[in-house]
Amino acid sequence: MTAPAIKISGLYKAYGDISALAGASLLVGAGEIFGLVGPNGAGKTTLIKAICGVLKPDRGAVTILGLDAGSERYAVRRRLGYMPQEPALYEDLSPRENLAFFGSGYRTAGLEKRIRDSLEFVGLWQRRDDPLHTFSGGMRQRASLACALLRDPQLLILDEPTAGVDPTLKQAFWEHFRELKQRGITIFLTTNMMDEALHCDRVAVIRSGRVLVTEAPDAIRSRGRARITIELAGGGLREADVSGYEEELPRLLLSYGLSDKVRRVSIHRPSLEDVVLSMIQKPDGGWWITQMRNKTRNPKPETRNRGAKAQ
């Protein structure tokens, strides 16, 4: 049996009186695209730091590709690539110069070939010598992905990789991700966009430092309640909110004997966004709803990061 790419057990981390992780547990299979969703402050960034071995948890265990993320963190880092939400590249250097700089620091074998392979993969080889500050935000995201791929990682960590990019480029990114999966690379990404979570093999919902559920996107969506409306020939309506509508619908229709009394049956299923929001809501849940929906419908515009630090 193949070992999991990520295994997190009972992880706790507090910053003073603030609990960032409160017993989070997670299992990510090798070769899958795995999404992590949750509101700001839920513990996503802390979890990523623990995976990358740059944060020491108060309690719990983190195993990455069969290695302990703490005691074997340098071996872990050689096997993973990380793409931050904001590209952490030098804007006055070209993509090739950026990759050469980071690759020399990593002591990457066959560096020149890896640079070309990475830039060709993201479609930037023709712009390899142009200064990064001449690129659009989406092109800088591509350069950041190329940097994450430089060491041919077994595990790729992506922090909101398509935030602020246009729909066409987002589609191109997901084509990249699916191709990487076909190569056997495990992809672990965070996102606040539910349309993006639908592309993942499995999704974990995190709130207040705890993982609430880990399932396929459609299975999570099925946790919501569907509204079934039956319109009768005489103009009457019968409505019911049910869970597991596939089983409930036949029961509702049974009383009509599947006769011509039933003119039309319509079903409104909650979206993945609706179900996730219901999971992460608190007493002041309206704020979370506004935040998540704004991120989904109005992604932030592209910005230039002229003073970026090296990752």
Map out the domains of the chain as residue ranges.
225-268
Whether this model's pTM surpasses 0.85: no
pLDDT at 288 over 50: no
**pLDDT tens sequence across 146-190:** 999 998 999 999 998 887 778 888 888 899 999 999 999 999 999
Alpha carbon 59 to chain centroid distance? Answer: 25
Tell me what the pLDDT averaged over the chain comes to: 84
Q: State residue 1's pLDDT score.
A: 58
* Predicted confidence band of residue 68 (pLDDT cuts 50, 70, 90): very high
Sheet harboring 6-15: ordered strands across? 18-28, 6-15, 59-64, 67-68
**pLDDT tens sequence across 208-242:** 999 999 999 988 887 777 788 888 887 788 888 87
Q: State residue 246's pLDDT score.
A: 65
Q: State residue 231's pLDDT score.
A: 83
